[in-house]
Structure 1
Amino acid sequence: MLLSAILVALLATISQWWFFAPITRCMTYPLTTGLIVGIFMGHPMLGMLAGANIQLVYLGWINTGGVMPSNTMVAGIFGTALTILAGANPKLAVTFAVPFSLIGLLMVEIYQSINSFWVHRADAELAKGNVKAIRFLNYIPSLIVALVVYGIPAFCLVYFGRGWASSMLKMIPKSLTTALEVVGAIMPALGIAMLLNYLGKKTLVPYFFIGFFLTAYLHLQIMAIAIFAGLLAYLIYINDKDKTNNKVTATPKKKVRRLTLNNRTGEQEEVAKPSTMDMTKAAKSLSPLNYKLRLTKSDLVKTWLWEQSDEAAYNYERLQALGLTNMMIYPIKKLYPKERQAEELKKYMVFFNTEPHMIGPVIHGIALSMEEARANGAKISAEDINGVRTGLMGPAAGIGDTVQQGILFPILASIGATMALDHNYFGPVMFTLVFLLIIYSIGYGMFMYGYKKGKESVISILKSGLLDKVTKAFSIVGLMVVGTMAATRVTIKTPLIWHVGQSTIKLQSLFNQLAPSLIPLLITLLVWWLLRKKINATWIVVGIFVVGILCSYLGVFATI
């Protein structure tokens, strides 16, 4: 048990201490960590089932702009560990995980608040010309804080918790255990409804119902729905693209609509231009001809790898600033003499926050291109570089968060969780590997594209409207997959029976004649309606607990 406790504590630590994103990125998802916790504690199947059940609740919980609506890292790791310790039904994992996720919000506040101190220390060290201190400050203090805030509680839970966890489960009456299973069966409706709230534009909502009824009536598996949805989305994308091309050909002088994705909400807004006259002047200075100082392909790859630590010391005050300053140490040393290096790094110690893995890296590629030009004597100031970075920060975040967290993740996680709940270990493994491969392949490409093409080419893509069409296509796939999840993973039914004279009518049979899985659909739509009415998700969680337990005791709801 000591080894298990140490391993789970290490996992909990790196789930928040994001020292290298390709390793730590999926440690925020219960589908991935559930299986790992299960392996560490000697119960891989129970861990995987617990993690998959927990993941269904958090399909639609999107962390944007430094705001975390619920701590899914703590929910997945601590909730799975407690389920294994208690030897509980994996359906109960949700009821264990939700309280932990709320406690986890306090933990992340402590972690990110304390990390703000290292930013000020970094300012002081750069003022003294001490570049080496940035590496230390980005990694070591944040590691210690993550270990104390996350690792030690996880160790104590696993090492000391088996006795009281088993006792706690034995103390719960059978009727309450059954009621909590009903709560667990309803809870995935919240995650599905949150995705509907995020993706569900009026013109796209019908695709949710298509996915739902294809599964409810034809019993198609989620992979079949995903393939069908992907082909349908591709046809719609091609059709939209052809319409746009024909429209542009007919009216070549008409201004192309600009991309209108907001920073971190997915709502529409005008894209900020990175700069005005100063930035135009800077763009003219970016020609690489006659450069004496150059960044090689190897230099770019190394810088991209250092960029994967940009959230190791993530903090409330300047968010990614310390990590990005750490990223720029290598190219700054390559481009500038020693006496200038600390001064040049100071410009990166300003507030910065964007989607860091998939679309955001394009900004860092552009910054490197401008930095290279500046080192070779181009008339580019520190303010010019930060003007571009700040201007592109919002659009890149809006696109990256929408595609990665709002579309790509729920599609892959839905498929992975479904496979996991069918006792297939390939589910979480597939999700983790494919998700990481997609986002970091795109992220690497965007980083290199930003360096090679500079800001003008990136802005032209943002203005073209192409990404609106791509986002629409992905949204169609996401909504159809979510519809499948509503039909299969909100596993609730009614055992009510009506006696009319000599006849007995089972209410569930009546519902099945109207539409299979009608109760799960109605529950999901009700939760979606509450979200659209701006009811806080935490209150909805409380409501599901109360209603689920009450309806179980009254005999209104039961699990399928």
Structure 2
Amino acid sequence: METLSIWQSLIIALWVAAIMSRSFLGGATLTLRFSPLMTGLVVGVVMGDIAGAMVITAAIQLIYMGVFSPGGTMPSEPSIAAAIAVSVALLGDLTPEAAIAVAVPVGLLGSYLYQFRFFINTFLGKATDRAVESLNHSGISRSVVLYPTIASFLLFVPLVFIALYWGAPVIADVITTLEGTVFLHILEVVGGGLAAIGIATTIYVIGRRDYMVFFLLAYFISVIFKDLNITMVTYAILGTLVAAIFVLSRNNTATKSSAADSTSAGEFDDDDDDF
């Protein structure tokens, strides 16, 4: 069974640690943590199969659509799940559905690892207390930013590296040996079902009742135009045009309503002047 090299495993582990340590500035860290797409791209670049990695990552992304965190832990960690599952899928030439079945338990384990990071930060918080008591501004910066980042790298890099270098080939080998069996078929069915659940969750989160017609429109358009092999770029352009028409129509309606209200208010004022 083909395996990842030391450098490949190390680069992917460093990327995951950078995301999980929240070392990127602004909202980039949270976006990368919630979405496995960029992690899948990095894995594809490192392993030399970007196209295959993105196909697999797109399927994994479906189960995490609508997943977010207000700042604490999540039930699953998408970036860790993508790093391991995409690597396993590329090594074992697995289907995206089987990769989803691998990503789910790995993501659950990643959430426990992230919780342990919070446990470590409780000890680092004592350095913050000492720096605050002495009004040491540089010490506060180090204890709040630098020390937790270093601790996260020390936590995530070795464990993710081990999971990639030794664990990924083993998982890929096991799933490859199960090819053609009922067990692998079950994994693929479960993986496809999880993707459907992810889409349903997204619709539940962002699907206002008055917007549901657009979900139905998108579904039937994709079914009707399936045989035409239309690309996602074309669908994106059509979606943009439909959204623009909807926004323009709402703006026109709001403008007419405001004008009508102003007219009514003016007439009411004229009546008041008569008294």
User: What TM-score do you get using the length of structure 1 for normalisation?
Assistant: 0.42
Instruction: In structure 2, give the amino acid aligned to 1:27.
Output: L
User: What secondary structure, in the 3-state scheme, does the structure 2 residue paired with 1:204 have?
Assistant: helix
Distance 1:71 1:162 in 2: 17
**What is the match of residue 211 of structure 1?**
218
**What is the match of residue 125 of structure 1?**
131
Is residue 227 from structure 1 mapped to residue 232 from structure 2 by the alignment?
no
The answer for unaligned runs of 5 or more in structure 1 is 253-560
RMSD over aligned Cα atoms: 2.5
Shift of 1:241: 3.2
User: What secondary structure, in the 3-state scheme, does the structure 1 residue paired with 2:76 have?
Assistant: coil
Task: Describe how 1:477-492 pairs up with structure 2 within 5 A.
Answer: none
Distance 1:47 1:157 in 2: 18
Distance 2:56 2:131 in 1: 46
Distance 1:57 1:201 in 2: 20
Judge conservation of contact 1:34–1:80 (CA < 8 Å) in 2.
yes
**What is the match of residue 165 of structure 1?**
171
> Equivalent of 2:254, from 227, 241, 244?
241
Distance 1:228 1:188 in 2: 27
CA distance 1:240–1:134, change in 2 (3 Å): farther
Instruction: Summarize deviations over 1:243-282 as a string: whole Å, max 9, x none.
Output: 5533663459xxxxxxxxxxxxxxxxxxxxxxxxxxxxxx
Distance 1:83 1:8 in 2: 15
Instruction: In structure 2, give the amino acid aligned to 1:54.
Output: I
CA distance 1:190–1:251, change in 2 (3 Å): farther
Distance 2:236 2:85 in 1: 28
Distance 1:105 1:57 in 2: 16
Judge conservation of contact 1:63–1:69 (CA < 8 Å) in 2.
no
CA distance 1:241–1:70, change in 2 (3 Å): farther
Task: Describe how 1:530-545 pairs up with structure 2 within 5 A.
Answer: none
Shift of 1:14: 0.9
CA distance 1:225–1:107, change in 2 (3 Å): farther
Distance 1:149 1:18 in 2: 13
> Equivalent of 2:52, from 46, 49, 66?
46
Q: Share of identical aligned residues, percent? A: 23
Instruction: In structure 2, give the amino acid aligned to 1:215.
Output: S
Task: Describe how 1:176-187 pairs up with structure 2 within 5 A.
Answer: 176-187=183-194
Judge conservation of contact 1:9–1:150 (CA < 8 Å) in 2.
yes
Distance 1:45 1:185 in 2: 20
Instruction: In structure 2, give the amino acid aligned to 1:2.
Output: I
User: What TM-score do you get using the length of structure 2 for normalisation?
Assistant: 0.81
Is residue 27 from structure 1 mapped to residue 40 from structure 2 by the alignment?
no
CA distance 1:245–1:46, change in 2 (3 Å): same
Instruction: In structure 2, give the amino acid aligned to 1:10.
Output: L
User: What secondary structure, in the 3-state scheme, does the structure 1 residue paired with 2:57 have?
Assistant: helix
User: What secondary structure, in the 3-state scheme, does the structure 2 residue paired with 1:21 have?
Assistant: coil
User: What secondary structure, in the 3-state scheme, does the structure 1 residue paired with 2:210 have?
Assistant: coil
Shift of 1:126: 1.8
Shift of 1:186: 2.8
Give the paired residue count.
252
Instruction: Summarize deviations over 1:118-177 as a string: whole Å, max 9, x none.
Output: 334223212212111122112332123322432212101222235423431233141332
Instruction: In structure 2, give the amino acid aligned to 1:33.
Output: T
Distance 2:64 2:16 in 1: 18
> Equivalent of 1:102, from 105, 108, 112?
108
Distance 1:245 1:20 in 2: 45
Judge conservation of contact 2:65–2:198 (CA < 8 Å) in 1.
yes
Is residue 111 from structure 1 mapped to residue 117 from structure 2 by the alignment?
yes
The answer for unaligned runs of 5 or more in structure 2 is 267-275
User: What secondary structure, in the 3-state scheme, does the structure 2 residue paired with 1:64 have?
Assistant: coil
**What is the match of residue 140 of structure 2?**
134
Distance 1:13 1:251 in 2: 61
Is residue 59 from structure 1 mapped to residue 72 from structure 2 by the alignment?
no
**What is the match of residue 270 of structure 2?**
none
Bigger share in helix = 2
Shift of 1:198: 1.0
